Structure 1
């Protein structure tokens, strides 16, 4: 895959669309620094997928878009298109049939980026996969810059191995390994999570087994805590109430005192306002007087300054006059000396004037003789030139005829060869034209098939997308339903737990019944009546109202057991209770039958079920109770029938046989024992339903999630399929267009060749006639030229004598001119000196006159300044007198102002004291109110806590006498102790068995998941091990091959010496580094970092070329790699490039002329317009 063409538009400095066409051999790109040569390398690196702007010499990707110049606006997009030839078919399978592969990348100023392969949208991954392990890429060895050569030398051994990995072709294996490692890591993380969950579930199973044993002890401690805590809270509430009353009285007292002080403060503030106004008036008067005083002070200072300035100026002028008088005396002395010099110079000038006249006469005689000889010589030379010109014309014409004859012969031979070649080409063109028609029909058929497949794939993709959208909508609905059911389940579960806890604590029972059930439950104790009966749903309130306190009766075997239980409560002071013997021989009352019941009434006992053991007992309790729908119906039945039965409604209202009606609102939010029991039953059923529903929804959601994943994968498969088919279709269309273009070209070529054959025959006849004419002309010219040669020889002999005579006369003229010039120069020098001295005397006289005038001006100004100083002194005396008067008045005003200020401050002090007192009293009230509010909050919190913990309002609580034997000061300690014990027991669950079974099922499921994950992890590890083995073998094989070639090529670069590569590190070869050891001729073996700059560059170049010899990349870009090399090493470098250009295409960016000479084509980069690069190509 060699570079065929590169197109750059809007990238960095290439504002205009610029095309580069590179031959298969060696191309060079040249130009001055800063013209944009390296931008071409950046463009190729960028189109190959470079993502780091710093590697492209920018900060952000947006920096790559042309930003404009003085004469150009910025562009909105950078675009680079790289066309690669694929004649060898070595591209990946999907592109193997394409003769060309075009890669295009665009970057918009908004930051959006696009990739195309053969004009089909692609991903960055597609471009990376296209060049993987080919040596081409942003980090491969196909693009080498000068800095990269330096990096190869200075890089760490572990960093240097990257270029060997590319050469070994193991990057695709590393890519697969990385993917496998990510999957292995995810699998291990899942395995860790599953193992953690298994551990947690196992721990929960053990915990559930222990929780049941804690329940009994937990109930006893909980009841004792409730009793003591309520009583202790009751005492605290009473203490808080008493303290609040005392604080309220103190608040009233302080409020009265605060009001008294505030009134006094307001009175003083009125007086202060009046005093403040007077003070402000006096202060204003004082400030005005002070301003006048300051103004007078400024006038005094100004007059003093003016007087002083006048005196200073007068003194300065007097000193200046003295200096001027001294200067005048010096100037007069200078003029006297200059007059003597003028007399001497006049005598010298008269002698030089006579000498000049004599030398001018001699020069005139010599020049006349030279003119005569020159005129004669010029005539002879003119005649010779005329004859030589005629001779040259004849020779030139003869030579032209000779060349024309030779050209005619060559042209005749060339035309005959061309005629034979054209005929051969025409026959070949006709044959190829016939061959081009053969594959067209097959291509059209295949293109039609691919278009149909594309439509089918688009339809399938659309269906899959619609299905995906439907699945995602279904998932959203399922997620919402799941969330709703989970919320309801959590709410119901919390309520069920609360009710179960209340039941386990036996809340709502009297102290006697609870204490017997918790502390004296023997085999003779059967339980509460509320526990042994089941009520038809909806009749709980009716049964609770009818039985009332009897629901808390404790059932015992017989009368003696009941007596024993009562004795237990009495001796232990644990309340009172009622006990009902199950075996009662007196239970023989008869009850009316249903036949005598009024309409709308039915026996309440029929709505209750219990075991046969307790059936008679329930009949005794409810045999005379009838249930009706509502209170109105019950009242009507009681009015219309004389019944000796009790009527109870579904809402719990009661009418006894005497007509007494009992009813109203129920107390408490949790209802009675039977309602609680019924609610627990309903909630248990509902939570089971919700758990099943949540599990079902979770399963359905997971199935939908799997289906969504499969749909996305299917859509991706369709896209890949469409991409592949589209590439093939474009390739076929490109092939078809190419065939059509070639057919057209062949037809045009055949017509052109036929025309050329005819033209060639006509040209051969014309050339034959021309040859005959030229031969005759050449014979005539040879005869004329011999006669001219004799004339020229005679003229040249006469010219030689005249030239010798002319040189002798010219020497005399030169000597006369030199002597005259010397005398002239001396005369001019003396004249100039005389004029300078005369000018100096005149300038001195002018200076004397100027300075005399300055002395007179100074005298006038001195007189004026002395008068001005006297005037300012007189005015200053007047101003000082006015200033003293103002100062006396200012002192009086200041004393009055101070007196007013003192009175005001005394009032402010008194007001401040009163304000402090008021604030102090206000703060005291605030503190009292805070304490009062804190007590109220504490009391409210205490009430809320008792209601929250025990469902009892402490304000309405009345403790029983036998509540506790503890002293009040010991209660808090006992409460803390009980809470610590309960807290230390942890959570106690009465439904532990049920939860244990659920957790067991989950535990078994998790064990299966763990086994599957372990198997998956083992398979991934085996795959990674296989990849490691393959990469080790390939890397080792490539390293050894490169090392061998490197050892051979190094001496060629250095004309001797030795170098080798060494693997560093003792671990796995996949993690090792590569060290370069070099020994230039005449030096000891040493690390490459110790070599000179040129030796480093040449060593690195030898290594790169060694890699190329083992695995050449299709093309190689070298950006000023030859910069640090001298001429000798440049020649060796160029030799290697020539050798390897047979296998790889080379593009060189260089400033070196020797490197340019090896190039097959040359591109010049210029910046005719500042900031805009332009390319000029030269085919060498």
Structure 2
């Protein structure tokens, strides 16, 4: 055990550190108990590569509870066993013994032992604390108290410095957040945000409910005003209706006489218009035949123009290509001339620089040898001074280290104590906040319960069932009458439609049938085959067997217009049989497809990365017949624009646009279909015979219609009486139902709120319990730390600084002067070496540059000749193409002139047809108008007669047997307005509006109180979130300042330059931390832009600053100085010695200067397949080269 004495040689307690490490069966350590007795301070572990140095650190991490194979540097957990193939020895055991003299670990023992065992059979780990079996969490909780858990910054493995050097600004900020525990604030904020969302949702529901209630209040106010108006209107309607019926009877008698006169006139006009219509039809047919002949001539000229356009496009492309070749050759020749002149000048300059660099290189080499000789002499003199200083400085250094150690430990304890006090105050504040929140929730629950009991009492008073039963009975009676009326009305409508259709379509139908006879198309064959579809096993027509979206309708019709009336049969045999039948019947034409031959249909595929390209049209059309869609549409691609369709066509694909523009392969032809439809006269052909029989039966239906109308009038009177009764009951039931629904919703909402508040209270109670546990634990820790602070204060007061004698001061001053000279010499030496290397590199670069210039000159001469030949050939070819282009342009202009004349002639035909079509449509409209007018006149006479009888009965029902004299005002307008207003009032009349209004107002007040409560709750949550953000920022800025100050101080001592952290954004947590570093004689740069060695030094300083932010009693560092040169290694080792005061640093290193400064050295070497250890205490910091072995 290591003891520490003060200047009076009084024994003091050592600090917490790893006192002993025992390893058995772990990785390279064999099946014997390997024991390492460790001291505090800097402990060095060294040895050859592969000897097992880093396995010591892995063993410590294993004992501390690390379970990650990656962090333990193995592929799997079984690889931790020394001899994994030998089953009897599958046991790993690592024991750590901590010196706990200062009671840093809250166990009242000077030594605390932690052991972890793992058996190979089960792979399970067992943990022991002072020989007693405990859980892993118990071990981790104790380690958490002394900041020694694994996976923290106190354990620095190989490669960690490199990873730290590559951190970006965002990752630097996050690593500081993790160290100071800002995740606690994020968790609290997230929890508060969830509560805020829930509060917003409840507030939104309350506001929406208040809006609904407010609308209901406005409705009830209007219903109260409607009641008085309804009574007044009823009294006035009876008087005005009597006047109306009297005027109506007089009017109807005059209208009946007038209609009889009009019927005679319409009959004569109808015969004249029919003759004019037949003459127009003959003229239109003649013009259509002339137009058809002219169109055939125009099509021939258009095909010639398309071929010329194709040739023009090809020639224009070739002309532009040759022009581009000529322009490129001219630009390249110009560049070659400029580059050749530059190469001549550059060659002369490079020759001169090469000669000068060779002379300077010889001078630098001679100066380098002189400096090296002088530096060896200075180091010899420094070694003699160090020997004399070591003899007299032991006593002084012991007191100095002890005093610094006590001060450092005290400052750490003060920092921990302040953090604990802040944490305790924060926990107490949270506990107080939660208790107040529980009390507020309890009061709110009581208010909700009182309101809910009142609502439930109101709910029991409402009974809607009685009124609902009565309403259902009345509605049943009304429905029966309405059904009866609807049956009669539907029959009348049906009979009337039949009569009208027969009269309206009999004559046009004959015209359509004659048109079908003249066209003589496939509709005759289809009409016949519909009646014999089973005989020929016809599956169906193509138009009936395919489905597609209306968006693609024009494209589908453009491609498959000729296939739509095609018949599908099962096989070729049926197809031949059907063809024979068509030929036998002498039908005009018909297309047939065999279903079994569709299997050979193939669908083309093409990949085109263009927005306008939609895909294969067959993918957008669907059919239950396999391969039918691929047969018709499989070779057609659908696009949005005609330009894309043309490009596909030029590539040999058949394409169509959504607008109906069809391009054949290689742009051989273009078909346009902008919305044509498929003619279908099949139905007219099939139904020619039944139409005649329908016309004969229409007169019988007219008589039946009159009888049904009289029955409907009687039923309508009964329905109006019943409906008035139903409306009254519906108003009453509606009011009752609204009130009942409102009370149920409010009651359910209150129950839900009470349950939510109970759940919140339970959660808050659990949090209070957890807070009490944390408070007790932290107060115990604060008591222990306060006691330790008093002890250290007493010890610091007892230490008195010794005066340094004159000899020690002179030697120290002389040593510092020599060190300065050595450092300056080394700096000059490095500068000379750097400049020499730079000159050598420059010389080789200049030599390579000379060769490159010669090579480039030869290449430019060859290329210049090739470009001139290329320009001459392209110029000759361009002249030939331009001559051919002029000829094609002239031929194209001739065709355009002819096409222009054809367009004007075609327009004339279209105009003549349009004028006659318009006249024919006008005649149709006039004939249909006269026919409709005659039907309407007959119907009016019948209606006027029935209306006269009805008006007389209504007048008598009102109590008037004679006609009333007509007054000056128009009774119809008044009755219409009053009746309309009366009907509107009936639909919304409410006799219980006042009672309902009071109940709704009470509900609105309750919801208003709840809204105020929810707003207060939301405001308190928002305030709490703002406090969390502020506290989080304060904690981070304190940590940032400590890390920045430590980096500035440490980097200045180690590298002699400056380094600091800088916050990138005003919003701290939305940006990162920039790490700016400036070495001596160099400009400041971001740490990631430094050289390899500089990066390592900057990253090491940053790591040390992070470790100081949350100190640990021990640190494990694995070859952190591996990438540093001798000077930086020397400086880093000094910092490590200073940092080891008050803690323990275990460092794996191969650098002699670092090992020499260690107070304890462990050497690792392999022997017989296992790692062996030698131990050496080095209190005087003797260099390794001077250590002599003894027997």
The higher radius of gyration belongs to 1
Judge same fold: TM > 0.5, yes or no: no
TM-score, with structure 2 as normaliser: 0.33
TM-score, normalised by the number of residues in structure 1: 0.34
